[in-house]
Every structure is written in C-alpha cells, then in structure tokens.
Structure 1
Amino acid sequence: MLTAYGVMMAVRARGARPPPGYFEDITMDTKYVTLVPSSGSAADPDAERGVRRAPAGAVPGGSAPGTVPAAAPVLLPAPACAEAASGYLIPDALPAKGVEFTIAAYPGMAQGDYLLCYFDKGGPGEYTSPEIDITKNSVGKPQTFTVPKANVVKALDKDVKVYYTVEFADGTNADSPQLALHIGEPTMLKAPRVDEAPDGHLSDALAHGDVHVRIPIYDGMAAKDQIYMYWGTAGDPGYYDDEITIRAVREVAILVPAEYVENWLDKSVKITYNVKRGDAVYSSEPLTLLIGNAEDPNLMPPPTVQEAFDGILNPDLVNPGGAKALIGPNATLANGVTGRVVWCGGPSNGGAEWPFDISERYLTNPYPVTIPYDNIVPFIGKTATLSYEADILPPLPFLSNVLTLKVERKTAQVAPASIPELVNDVLDPRNISPSDGAFVYVPPNEQMKVGDTVRLTWACENSLGNWDNSFIVLPSDIGKSIGFQVPFQSIIAGRESKVTVSYDIVRGGKTFAQGTPLTLLIHQGTLPAPTIDEAKQDKLDPADCANSATVRLPASGSFLTGDLITLNWQGANTADGTIAVPHTVTDQESGGDITLLIPLKTVQADVGQSVTLGYTVQRASSTPDETSPPSIYDVVAVPDKGKLLVMGARNNRSVYRGTSTSQYLSAFDKTTLAPVSAQWSYVDQRTSVVGTSFKDTRPWVPLTVQTQDDSVTLNWANIVGSGSDAATPGASALAAHLNHGNVIAWGVADFGGNEPPTTITYNDVVEASSSQKGFAVRRKDGRIAAWGTPALPDGFVMTDAMRISGNASAFAVLRTTGQAVAWGDATNGGKVTDAVAGLSDLTTLHMAGFAFASIRKTGSVVAWGNANFGGLVPTDIGQMTDIVDVRGNYTAFCALRANKTVVGWGQASDGGAVPTGIAARSDIAELASASARAFAVLTEGRQVLAWGLPANGGTLPADIASLSDIAEVTATWGAFAARRANGTVVAWGNGAQGGTVPDAVALCNDIVQVCGTGRAFAALRKNGQVVAWGDQTVGGNTAAVAAKLQNVRALYASSESFVALLDGGGIVTWGVLAGGGDNSKVPTIINENGALTYVATAASRGLIS
C-alpha cells in the first residue's frame, strides 16, 4: 500500500498533480487509487506563489530609524525537471549521477544572491543542495542542481515537493513555488465497460444503435466529481465526448448516440474517462472495444481471398477450379504447425474445411487453399465467412480473425481516377496542352487481368463536353495505371461546367468493378496580379530603378508559347505617364514568369501618383481573352527616415459577435515605439483624419496610414470566426481572407469549417461574414456566396450587394439600391419584414443574436427578426430621426443619437431597457462594446458606463467607473475589458470568462489591443507579444504557442480560438483544437508565400479599386 498527497494518484500521462495541501492521506494498491478528502489547512499562500518577503523586523512602508522598507513582491518560477515532464520521476530511468533540476532566471536576479534547493524536505529522500551563488556572469541565466539517485530511490512510491529559497543580495528572501512529483510509475483508474458488449465486442447487429458506456465505482468516488467520457480520440471520425457531475457514489451510464457508434463499424474504438476534482485531473485505463468485424489483436490475422473485391466475392470472377484463399505468413504459423481453414462455419453448418500443414516454404510465403466453386455457389446472396485455426494450444485451437464476405453478383466500388492537373477539384484549361488534352489515369488494381476492358466516361453538364473511350488490358499493363487523354476540345466545350469522371472494369461482358466517381469543375482561373520587382511592398521609388522598372507576371498565369500579352501601365495623364507594352510568349518563357520592362522616364513621370497595372492575355489555344486584376503602386520618393509601425486588428463588425470586437488601430514610431500622429485614409476615399489612433468603420477597404516619411496600407479584416457559446468545445471555425481575395476556412465542419472547393476559387472576395455555424462572402461584382448554416437558398442571386452581416442563424445583405434582403432562420432575421423590404434608403447593417437593424438616410432606425430580442423597434424610438450608430448583443439593441444620448430595445434585462441614470446622460460619445447580455458605452470624458445582466458585465465596479482614460472596450460573452490610455487593461463581469485580470497582465503597461473569444481575452503588447486570461480551454492560455507569439501585429478571434497575425505574414492560432485553435493544422497556404499579411499588397489593394 502507498500513501501520497492529492485527490488521487494523478493522471501520469497528463502530468496533472494536485496542489500542495489540497488533499492528503491517499491509500492505493499497485493499480487503483483510493481518494480521501483532506481536512488539512492550506499551505502558506506566499510560499505557494513564490512571493519575496522582507527580512525579519521590517516595517511595511516604514522609514523610522532601524527599520527596513518592505521589498516589492517578486514572483519566482518553480523549478523544472525535464525527466519528469508528466509529473512522474522513475528512478530506474535515471542516470547514475541522479536527476537535474533547472531554475529559470527569476525577477530581480542580481550578483550576490544565493540559492538553497530542497528535495523531499522532511521525507525519506530529503536532500538539500549546496549553496548556489549568483555571480556577475550568472545573472540572467538558468541555474541547475542535481539530486543524487540514492535520494530519489529512498522516496520511491511517495509524493515529493521540490523548491528553492533565494536569499537576495538586499537581505530579503523568498521561497519558490513547489514542484510536486510522484516517484515511481503512473497508476490509473479502472477501465469503463459497455453494457451492450460485456465481452468487449459489439456485434454488427448492435453497432447501428445507441450504446451505454458504464463508468465503474472507482476507489474514492465522491459526490461532485466531474466525469468526462471520451469515445475515440479527438479528431477521429466518430469521436464523441460527454460529461456529468455525479451526485452520489454509484455506477454511471453515459449514452453514445448511434451515429457515433456506426462510424466505428468494423474498427476498434478506445474508450476512456477522466475524473476532475478541483484542479486535479485523473485518467482511466482504456477499454478497446471491437465493433462488428474489427480485428481482435489477440487473434491471428484473417485470411484473404484473391478473387474477393471490396468485401464482395463475385462468383462470376471465380475460375471453374475455385477461389484461392491465402493464410499467413505470421509468427504463429511456425514450421510444422497444422490446422484447418474453415469456410462458412464448417461442414456442420453447410460449409467446408480444409487442412493445412505449414512447411518451411510458408514461413515467408502465404499458404494457398482452394475454395471449390461448388462450395461458393450455395452462398450466393448470403454472407460467407472464412477463418483458420492452428493446433498449437491443445485441447483448444488458436483462432484467427474472421474474414466476412458477401457472395453476390455485384459490382465493387474501387478507387477513383486521377488527373494530375486537378487542383482542389478544379481543372483549369490553361494548364492543359491543346495537343495532348487532359490525362486521366485509372489506378492499378490487383484484380485486373489481361483481356479486361476499362471503359472511361467523361460526363459533362454541358453535353458538348462529353467524351468516353475504352482500353483493353495487355500483359504490360498489369500493375500499372491505365492512361486516357481527354481531347482539349472537350475541355473547352465544358468550361464553367461540372464533370463526373467514372470508369468500369469489364470481364466477359460483365462489369465487376466501378471507379468511385470523381467530380470536378472546369474553371479558368483568374490571372495573377502583376508585381514590380523594384517596389517595396506597394511603393516604387525611381531611385531603385536603374534604367527601367521590371513588371513581373507570375507563372501561375500559365503562360504558354504564342500567347499574346498586353501590359497596361496607367499613371499620370501625360504622354510619358501611361504606356502599353505588347509581348508574345516565347518557348523559353513558356510555363514560367513573364517579365516586362517599363522605361525609367515613365516611372519618373508618375512620381507623386498612384499607377494602376493590368494586362490582357490572348491565348494561342483560342480560349477566350483574359484580363488580370489590377495592382496599384504609389510612385514616391521616400526620404530615409524613421519607419511607421501600425498595430491592431481591423474592426470586423460584420461577423457574428462582431459587436464585441476591437475598433481602434494605433500608430507608433517603429524604432522608439512612441505614439506618432499619422494620417489615416481609406484607399477609395480622399478624406483623411490625423491622430495617434483611428476608429475603423470600413474594415472591408484597405486603409492607408502615413507620416511625413513613411506610408503603409493595411489589408481588409484578415480573419473571420464563427461559433456558438456551447459549453462543450468544438463548436466553431475560422476563415482567412487572403491577399489575392480568396477565403480559406478550417475548423469544425458543422460550423463552416468545410468550405466548398468552388468557393475557395473565388479570388474576388471583398468582405467576409459569419453566423454561428457558417460563413458568407461578398464579391467584388456584388454577388454573394455562403457555406455552412444557414445555406444560401436556391435562386438567391444578386449582383449589387454592398454590405453583408451575420447573426446567430441568418445573414443579411445591404444592396446598392438601399434595400435589404436576408436568408436563414426566418423568425430570427432570415426574412426581412414587408415594411423594411419596401424601403430603399437603408445605409447600414447591424446584428444582434436574433435580429438585424439598419439606419435609414432619414436618421431613423428599423429592425427585423425576433420581436422579443430586438427585431421590433418600439414606436417612440422608431420616430427618432437622429440615430447615428447601433450596436446589438445577443438579445437586444442600443442606439446612439446625435444629441449624445442612448436608447435601447429588445430583452429589457439584457440591456434592452437603458437605466434612468444612463438614459439621462447627454455626453455619450461612443457605443463601445457588447457582451452576450450587456452593453458598454464611453462618455466624452472617456469614462465607461455599462448596463444589462450583471453576470455578463452589466454592473460596473466603482473603481473602474471612476477611471477617465478609457481608450477602448471589448468583450467576451460574459465580461468586458477596457484598455486604458496608459497601456494597462481592466476588466469586469464573469471572472471565469475574462472578468478578472491576472496580476501579471495587470502589470503590463504597453497593451495596444484586446480581443475576446466567447470566454477568454488576449491582449497584444507594443513589443509584439501576447498575454491571455480567462477560460483556458478557449484561448485563455497561450502556453502551447507562446514561443511563436512574437512580432504580432493584430489579434482576431472566433468564439473558441484566437488568431495572431504576424508582422511578416502568416498566423498563429490557439484555443479549441477542433475549431481552428490547433496551430499545427492551419491550412498550409495561409502561411506560405505571403498569402496572408497585415500590410496590404499591390494585388489586395487592386481588388478593391
């Protein structure tokens, strides 16, 4: 029996250890654990936090003679041990010298400090290190100490604490936090069971229904334990999890719905559970459940049948002599082993059996057994089984897994054909040779024989593009792909049409296999925008051009020999400022970049101007002429002075939860990081404002920021997030708006993470939006596209969209006509009311959770959606004609009037009723932010006011209410965070959702942006680093990516994950893994070749022009 400290023996694989003093007196056997609640007192709080203490006799704040002022608290890091990363230290795995512990450089480290390090103080393995003196050269560097192996062995099967004491040079001292370790191997809780599979095998018949995972009574089970059940591993198809907080000590049955069980048919699934008590988490032994025909690892591998195809044995494919079955080779079938191959249960069940005798030859080759044709025929239309048993464990034979086959004259489904030029299911005719056409390959198939016929069908939506052909298999074709060439004329005839590519394999006039259909779209992609080699981002200095400027047309334009390209350089309206350059592609240039030269005098003529570049291509293949998107460059003579640094995200108000996002960007001197006053202007407007920060109201338009000696243009809002406020993680997705106009989504498929391939090809997207479960985009030509929920209804076509916005379950579009349309849940905003539909003077779109609102040119506000949650504007508010802004939360709206007062409607308790004290004020400067059920506004005196549900931040603490330097407010679902002008941040509301700022964050005085998921905040610091707090499961902990969070320029979020946009392009994500927070699974294209950048490129600026 063992005794240790903690709730129970911690989950060794997870590395979780109970906090010191939290529980004690744990009794366990060698495998399972008994949990006994602690009655002890908590450890010294200063010791737990590693707080620096003044010397004995010091008087806090005192200055009298003979007293010493108290030192400021110093937070020491806990010691670390690489050999015990999971919380377990195994003596047998240690080298003879023992185990090394590392102490990171600590705050206030100085020459003259010395350290004493303690292992298992007061325990059987007690060890105190020699003093470690801090010298001049060791300041700021990690320190190490080694505990002898003998001391570790003495503490076997015990819990130990490791810590150190710092005696500072000024006489103060501090104990570090304690590192809790267990000496020995991990232990786990009892494995779960499945009621429907008492023997660990779930039959095929039961694999299509619900099952019940039973959690046994584990040692120490107690009321209020939180149990988390896992069916499979996160990310697996068919993964499912559930949780329960138990009220009494008893077995618990957790239902797994049928759809998650069926995903594991003929496979094995690992089932585990975790128990959480306080801050400690403990794992169970796994149960490996075999479902249907899943192979049992304890049995020999199943036999195979050469003529069987995809689980089907077609009698028409069997020779008169019968089918050939193969067993082995495997380790069990040793030389001299005898046994039987059993067909359909053996003779007593209407089947048969045949003996085998393994000789030396079959130790490395399969042993063949013939299944006579006459034994196959009786089972046509039935299921047949084949297995074998070896006589090595008398009196019982050792069995194999069973091979189950359907005996029927049925066509088997095999792998689809492939097309090398196919990219994301799109075939671009520009990549196809007019002389060769498109190569289609039928993959090799082990069942294919000489004389078989392969018939390929190219079925196009446009019948003019149809094509088919046949191929007879020759001896030289066995084991190889079969190639077909679809004529170029068929490709051209099927442009902008879907094609289904399929094939049949025919023998003796009968089709025995069919290729899985391959569906593709023939789409001629958009030409890449031109670039200028000598330009720096989107700025071209004539001084950088020797004799000319080099315009580059990227190879992705698929330029081929004979193509005629005409480049248009549109600059100043002078003879030299504008030029057209024709060029015919040569053999040497075919397939590569095309470079064209612009004379230096043309560049010089355009100084102080913006030039627009574009080109047309007349293809030698006679495909339609193509026109590239434009690129815009500023031709400027930039003095060699300080550089501009702009930080902060674009104000993406069109997304679901957009009313809680940050709105301001800030400008700094790149060298000194001091704020600078800059000129801010949208690229499609001539008006500008000057200031150190800028409120972004048109985030779909590139934004130019200028000082006297520098200029940058920022891209549109780069990231869009979806997601609900579900307690169970895995309910969100992310989408990135790339520089070339494409939108790439990833995350949970049901929340928009599964973007259709066709939508990915749209490279003219100018605005992206989201609902809880989907995304929608507005294209440059006024068209829209959407995926996820709600789906775009059939026939919902327009070419004049100018804004788009999403709420929880609907999308709304503002048209250039001043009219609004919507789709989705009709009750909650997906259907515009008749009264609103008849208006043609709408100017804005604003979302709440279940409604939309719009400001008319008259200054009045209208709404539609759920009447209880903001979809019906009260008569008195509807008569107002001075509304200047509107903001929604989950169930209500508030509106700012020109007279600087605020009104509200919707769910009264959630902010729809403005309190008298706030309604009476006439100094409201800004609708600052909205949580799920509360609002925050800023006054002209930069004070913050809040109202709504207290649990969601509707009650403002007095100390925050007294502040008069609030720069900006952002929100999670349950809390608000206010960024102050001095660079610090304060918060209020639900502490678990970010309403309490940790001390380490509160000490930061260089915060430039705060961003929220549903339950956590992240803050961007001026040095490009990020801090976070709140619910750690949805981004409140950056540990997984902390090393990568450098040189960050902006933060975006979904409901569950954060996205950091890096200075050099690309992103870093963290939060819920399935929802996009797994940084290792960010789509590769986003972080490649400058595909996504904070600063706009020439191509992205051109998309808006």
Structure 2
Amino acid sequence: MQLAREALDIHISCLYQGDKALLPTYRLEEINIQDGAVLTGVARKLQLLSDFEAFVDGGAWRLSLASENAGVFLAVLPDGQVVSWGGRACSELFCENLRDIAQLKSSLDACAALKRDGTVSCWGLKSSCSKAEVSDRLQGVRSLFATSRSFAALRTDGAVVVWGGALGLENFGGDDSKVRDELTGVRDICSSASAFAALREDGTVVTWGNSCEGGDSSRVKGELTNVVALRATRRAFAALRSDGSVVTWGAITEGGGSFAVQDQLHKVSDIQATEAAFAALKSDGSVVSWGEAGLGGDCTAVQERLKDVASLHANDCAFAALLREGSLVTWGDQTGGGGSARVQGQLRNIVDVRAFRRSFVALRADRAAICWGHCEFTMNGVVDIQGNALGFAALKPDNSVAFFGPSAYSRGFFEAVEDQLQEVAALHVTAGAFAALRSDGSVVTWGTWKGGGDSSEVQERLRG
C-alpha cells in the first residue's frame, strides 16, 4: 500500500485484488502479485467523528447524559493525521500520536479511540480513561463499548478488556475480575449506564458492573441461552433468544422486570429501549412494552393501533412505531415525542424515522421532514437531518443546509456561517454544535465553543 501511495501520490485506505482486501502489512511476495496485475484502490478522504455520535450509538438512554457544554469533533485527514476541537478536544501533542482512527467511543468524562492497527488511545478524566493496567492487552481490538464511566474493548480473538470507572469503583463496569475467565468467545457487548453484558458465540451472556443495574444476571442465568441480541435501558437489560422469547434483568421498574407481560413475549423479532422502558416488536406486527410507564413502558392507550408494525424507534423517553402502510403510532412522554396528535395528519407515507433526545423526525417519501416533541416544525426537500440541543440542521437536495432553531441564540450561530454551507456532502453533530463536511473536503462548524462550534484555530490544519 505504501508503494501504491508513493506512486500515485494519493492516500489509499485499502487495496483490493479482485474481491480480496490486501492488508497494509502484506509484503509483495506474500500476495503473489505479478507484473501487470490490476489492483483496485480506495482513496482516503477526510473523515469526521464526534463524541456525541459515538456516545449515543450504544442506546437511547445515553441521550439524557450528553451535555451541550462539552463536545469534541475529530477530523481524520487523508494521511491519517487527526485534528480535534471542542471542549473535550485532546491536545495537539496527543493528536500527533492519534493516527488512523477507525472508531470513537465516549463516556461522561473520557473518550477512547480505536486505531486501524487495533490499538486504543484514551483522553479525559484520569479515573475513567487510565488504561495502564491493561495496555499490554489492548492489541487486536475490533470494537469499543462504554458505560457512563468505563470502557470495554472486544478483541478479534473474542477476548474482552475493560478499564475506567470513576474513583476505581467496579459498579461502573470497569472491573471484570469476577467474570474475566468467562469472557472468551465474545461476539458483541451491550452496556447500560453502569454495567456491561457480553454475548458469547455460544449464545450465553456474561454480565458485570453495578449489580442492581444489570451487572448481576444470576437470577436469570439459566435462561440466558441461545441469545441472539441484547438491548439496554439506563439500568436494565433485555435479551432476545433465537426462539423469539425475551429474558430481562436489572432495575425492575426500568425494564428489568417483564413479569406482567412475560406471557406475551414470544415470537419477538426486535427490541428497542428508551431510558427506562422496553418495547418488543413481534413477528405478527404487534407490540408489547414494559418498564417505566411515563417513558414508554405502557402502550395500552394505543394498543389497538399497534398492528402491522414494520419497525420500532426510540428516543430517551418515547417510542414511535412505523406501520407498514406508512403511518406512525407514538407513546411515552407526551412532550418528548410520545404525543403526536398535533402532527398526526402529516404522518403519512413515512419511509424513515429519526430519534433525537426528546423529539422525533419522520421523513416522508416526498422528502418532507416532520418534527414533534420538544421541537415542532416541518421542512420540505430534506435529504438528511441532524439535531441537538440547539436545533436541527437539514441537508437539502441542492447540497445546501437549512436550519431550525427554537431561539434567536441558536439561529445566530447558523446565520454566521450560512453563506458557507454550499456543496455540503454530510452533516455531523455534537450535543452543542454542528459540522458540515463539504465536497471539497473543507469543514464548516457552528454552535457553542465547548460543543465544537468554533473550529477557527484548526482550520489551517484541516486544509492540510
């Protein structure tokens, strides 16, 4: 790959010989390339990552923990160098060793970056990011996971490495000593705010962390077999088994106790979670929910309409069910997306639903975007949409950006850069700022300084 980069004078992310990927570490004699062979290369482009996108990727419960006053954007340049800005940015000196990032994960007070060589770098509060005791084991990592204050790394050999936990307390998931011997052959990990659950290749589950919030699954250990998927609220877990049944544990009132609906939890095909409730989609298109009633655990008021459901969506306090005929049914916190009566007449021909902290946005086939919950608006001609505490930014078909902000304060940030928002290829977001990646590789930001809205000090480095 180095020879190809030097010959073509471009940065290459991967080379292919037919459909076979050629690893950067391969030598020519190892891959038997002859003179005249045809290889396909994928050119590297600037890549944007954010702590917020990484933070909420693990579940809707995380939305309530993200702060608009702290955020970080990371730009991975075509040559692999990293530029960071925002209130949680790492130092320029640290960034010099932070190359070729493949994944970013965030806890409340630290960030962890997985590099393409399978190693991990961390920055933030020492008690949450210090990995000195496990650094020799952080090799060959394929993915990262986080509770509110701890991290877990899943290696390519199926082993798990954990670190962090404020003040060294094990109840945030940073201490796996009691189950370490069981953490082999792991294929996926799910996290609540203070516990981890590891799904093994044989369909069993191993848990650790706060025992009252999902870290202790001994009550249901005998039932945790043939598990195919895990979901978490802030303090509980649900396991979907291959036969369509569901097993729950953790905080009883926040989804860990499904006793009242257990006889209905069969032939389940998917599970979604708010901060404190679960909803299960069954193969016949019906829905069962349990947990905190006000956060989506009680769907009895709309039960008759929950038929022929195609997909479930959750923000941190409400659910939205997309029916096969293109309409939507919502329940949960009425002011946080669970009440859609005011826009129900517009919720037709829906093709996608986006969940934000206390709002939903429905995207229609005609490219109209309808938002309800904490914010309420309608935009036409929307290709993509991102949102945070400041408002919502929509990518338009002509590659310009439209913005809805509930206050003059938030709209002011956007108006300051609006004339630069042309030829935009993608939008990214922290809890307090937006970043637009333009087709020429330049980056335009707006929002709070701490959220990452001011990139003026790094613009020269972003341009290479």
Answer yes or no: same fold by TM over 0.5. Answer: yes
Compared CA separation, residues 1076 and 793, structure 1 to 2 (3 A): farther
* CA–CA separation in structure 1 for the residues paired with 2:368 and 2:90: 31
How does 1:447-526 map onto structure 2 within 5 Å?
none
Equivalence for 2:28: none
**Which residue identity lines up with residue 820 of structure 1 in the other structure?**
V
Task: Determine which structure has greater relative contact order: mean sequence separation of CA pairs < 8 Å that are 6+ residues apart, divided by chain length.
Answer: 2
Partner of 1:876, secondary structure, is helix
* CA–CA separation in structure 2 for the residues paired with 1:849 and 1:969: 22
Partner of 2:203, secondary structure, is coil
Pair 1:840 & 2:184 matched:
yes
Pair 1:553 & 2:4 matched:
no
Partner of 2:104, secondary structure, is strand
Partner of 1:1029, secondary structure, is strand
* CA–CA separation in structure 2 for the residues paired with 1:1064 and 1:744: 29
Pair 1:867 & 2:211 matched:
yes
Q: Cα RMSD (Å) of the superposition? A: 4.1
Pair 1:897 & 2:241 matched:
yes
CA contact (8 A) 1:777 1:785 kept: yes
* CA–CA separation in structure 1 for the residues paired with 2:382 and 2:396: 6
How does 1:711-860 map onto structure 2 within 5 Å?
724-725=64-65, 730-731=68-69, 733=71, 735=73, 740=78, 749=87, 752=88, 754-757=89-92, 762-789=98-125, 791-793=128-130, 795=132, 796-797=134-135, 798-825=138-165, 826-836=170-180, 838-860=182-204
Q: Deviations over 1:89-134 (max 9, x none)?
A: xxxxxxxxxxxxxxxxxxxxxxxxxxxxxxxxxxxxxxxxxxxxxx
Equivalence for 1:21: none
* CA–CA separation in structure 1 for the residues paired with 2:195 and 2:336: 25
Pair 1:612 & 2:46 matched:
no
Equivalence for 2:312: 969
* CA–CA separation in structure 1 for the residues paired with 2:303 and 2:267: 18
Partner of 2:340, secondary structure, is coil
Q: Deviations over 1:980-1030 (max 9, x none)?
A: 222222211111111111433542323222222221222233333422121
CA contact (8 A) 1:1058 1:1070 kept: yes
* CA–CA separation in structure 2 for the residues paired with 1:755 and 1:892: 32
CA contact (8 A) 1:612 1:631 kept: no
Equivalence for 1:1097: none
Q: Deviations over 1:514-561 (max 9, x none)?
A: xxxxxxxxxxxx999969xxxxxxxxxxxxxxxxxxx9635xx8xxxx
CA contact (8 A) 1:807 1:850 kept: yes
Partner of 1:799, secondary structure, is coil
Instruction: Give the Å deviation of 1:907.
Output: 0.4
Compared CA separation, residues 842 and 733, structure 1 to 2 (3 A): same
Partner of 2:290, secondary structure, is strand
Partner of 2:179, secondary structure, is helix
* CA–CA separation in structure 2 for the residues paired with 1:631 and 1:1047: 28
CA contact (8 A) 1:1013 1:1055 kept: no
How does 1:212-227 map onto structure 2 within 5 Å?
none
* CA–CA separation in structure 2 for the residues paired with 1:530 and 1:1021: 43
Instruction: Give the Å deviation of 1:896.
Output: 0.6
CA contact (8 A) 1:827 1:866 kept: yes
How does 1:412-423 map onto structure 2 within 5 Å?
none
Equivalence for 1:1048: 383
Equivalence for 1:150: none
Aligned mate of 2:59, from 659, 670, 695: 659
Instruction: Give the Å deviation of 1:838.
Output: 4.9
**Which residue identity lines up with residue 892 of structure 1 in the other structure?**
A
* CA–CA separation in structure 1 for the residues paired with 2:64 and 2:4: 37
* CA–CA separation in structure 2 for the residues paired with 1:1059 and 1:744: 23
Structure 1: where are the runs of 5+ without partners? 1-525, 532-550, 558-565, 574-601, 614-629, 633-651, 662-721, 1093-1105
CA contact (8 A) 1:808 1:850 kept: yes
* CA–CA separation in structure 1 for the residues paired with 2:152 and 2:405: 29
Instruction: Give the Å deviation of 1:910.
Output: 0.7
Equivalence for 1:1086: 437
CA contact (8 A) 1:945 1:961 kept: no
Partner of 1:834, secondary structure, is coil
Compared CA separation, residues 1061 and 881, structure 1 to 2 (3 A): farther
Equivalence for 1:294: none
Equivalence for 1:950: 293
**Which residue identity lines up with residue 864 of structure 1 in the other structure?**
W
* CA–CA separation in structure 2 for the residues paired with 1:1057 and 1:949: 27
Compared CA separation, residues 962 and 880, structure 1 to 2 (3 A): same
* CA–CA separation in structure 1 for the residues paired with 2:411 and 2:343: 27
Partner of 2:322, secondary structure, is strand
CA contact (8 A) 1:863 1:871 kept: yes
**Which residue identity lines up with residue 881 of structure 1 in the other structure?**
T
CA contact (8 A) 2:204 2:224 kept: yes
CA contact (8 A) 2:236 2:249 kept: yes
Pair 1:883 & 2:220 matched:
no
Equivalence for 2:29: none
CA contact (8 A) 1:782 1:802 kept: yes
**Which residue identity lines up with residue 146 of structure 2 in the other structure?**
G
Compared CA separation, residues 1091 and 857, structure 1 to 2 (3 A): farther
Q: Deviations over 1:178-230 (max 9, x none)?
A: xxxxxxxxxxxxxxxxxxxxxxxxxxxxxxxxxxxxxxxxxxxxxxxxxxxxx
Q: Deviations over 1:567-621 (max 9, x none)?
A: x986559xxxxxxxxxxxxxxxxxxxxxxxxxxxx7xx96xxxx433xxxxxxxx
Equivalence for 2:448: none
Compared CA separation, residues 987 and 570, structure 1 to 2 (3 A): closer
**Which residue identity lines up with residue 841 of structure 1 in the other structure?**
G
Compared CA separation, residues 974 and 842, structure 1 to 2 (3 A): same
Compared CA separation, residues 813 and 654, structure 1 to 2 (3 A): farther
Q: Deviations over 1:37-89 (max 9, x none)?
A: xxxxxxxxxxxxxxxxxxxxxxxxxxxxxxxxxxxxxxxxxxxxxxxxxxxxx
* CA–CA separation in structure 2 for the residues paired with 1:767 and 1:1027: 31
* CA–CA separation in structure 1 for the residues paired with 2:158 and 2:297: 35
* CA–CA separation in structure 2 for the residues paired with 1:528 and 1:732: 41
Pair 1:913 & 2:233 matched:
no
CA contact (8 A) 1:738 1:1086 kept: no
Q: Deviations over 1:218-248 (max 9, x none)?
A: xxxxxxxxxxxxxxxxxxxxxxxxxxxxxxx
**Which residue identity lines up with residue 799 of structure 1 in the other structure?**
Q
Partner of 2:437, secondary structure, is helix
Equivalence for 1:118: none
Compared CA separation, residues 1005 and 759, structure 1 to 2 (3 A): farther
Structure 2: where are the runs of 5+ without partners? 20-35, 45-51, 418-432, 444-464
Instruction: Give the Å deviation of 1:658.
Output: 2.9
Q: Deviations over 1:128-177 (max 9, x none)?
A: xxxxxxxxxxxxxxxxxxxxxxxxxxxxxxxxxxxxxxxxxxxxxxxxxx
How does 1:652-731 map onto structure 2 within 5 Å?
655-656=55-56, 658-660=58-60, 724-725=64-65, 730-731=68-69
Instruction: Give the Å deviation of 1:915.
Output: 3.0
Equivalence for 2:277: 934
CA contact (8 A) 1:904 1:913 kept: yes
Higher helix share: 2
* CA–CA separation in structure 1 for the residues paired with 2:376 and 2:139: 44
Compared CA separation, residues 821 and 930, structure 1 to 2 (3 A): same
Q: Deviations over 1:277-319 (max 9, x none)?
A: xxxxxxxxxxxxxxxxxxxxxxxxxxxxxxxxxxxxxxxxxxx
What TM-score does the superposition give when structure 1 sets the normalisation length? 0.32
Compared CA separation, residues 1084 and 771, structure 1 to 2 (3 A): closer
How does 1:960-1039 map onto structure 2 within 5 Å?
960-1000=303-343, 1002-1031=345-374, 1036-1037=375-376
**Which residue identity lines up with residue 553 of structure 1 in the other structure?**
D
Partner of 1:983, secondary structure, is coil
What TM-score does the superposition give when structure 2 sets the normalisation length? 0.71
